[in-house]
Amino acid sequence: MKIIFPFALAVVTLVAATAAFANPEQLEDRLQRGDQVIRTLNNGEPQQNLERMRQEFPFLAEATEGYALGEVWSRPGLDNRTRQLAAVAVMAALGERNLMKVHAGYALNVGATDDELKEMIYLVTVPAGFPKAIAASQTLSELFEERRNAASKGAGE
């Protein structure tokens, strides 16, 4: 019985996922919602990592845009700021520095503050440890520096 349940769950999940992507109208709706999520988070612009992925890994890009963004990120229940702060903490805890940096940028775009992002990193020390928190802090410092440089260039024009 212990073996049958996980197998059955995997089969049901696979069938549901296949059905979800089999309907072209539903897929197009998800892709449009995913694109809207990205543009909302990224100041009206497409996400460059996703666009690069689309060139060599179109299925992965479509799945990311359709499911992760169009289904999960577009759900009601959390505002974009809260969702992005949570994503920063999760990515930092997983050691996913590049994705953490993307989500930290989104968090700043939708109203989070530098101090709130720093608090997310401090929280990471408890479940993930100091090495991951320190690595995340370095990535966050890089993002802050990039934004300061961009702001000073914009002010000089």
Cβ atoms 132, 93 nearer than 8 A: yes
pLDDT in tens, 20-51: 555 677 989 999 999 999 999 999 998 899 99
Give exposure, 90-116, as e/b (b: 16+ Cβ within 10 Å).
Answer: bbbbeebbebbbbbbbbbbbbebeeee
**What token pair was written down for 146?**
């990039």
Using the structure block, give the residue that is written with the tokens 């109203």: 111
For Cα atoms 60, 65, 68, give the angle at the middle one, nearest 5 degrees: 95
- On whether the pTM is more than 0.85, the answer is no
Query: Is the backbone of residue 43 left (phi > 0), alpha (psi -120 to 50) or beta?
Result: left
- pLDDT exceeds cutoff 80 at 5: no
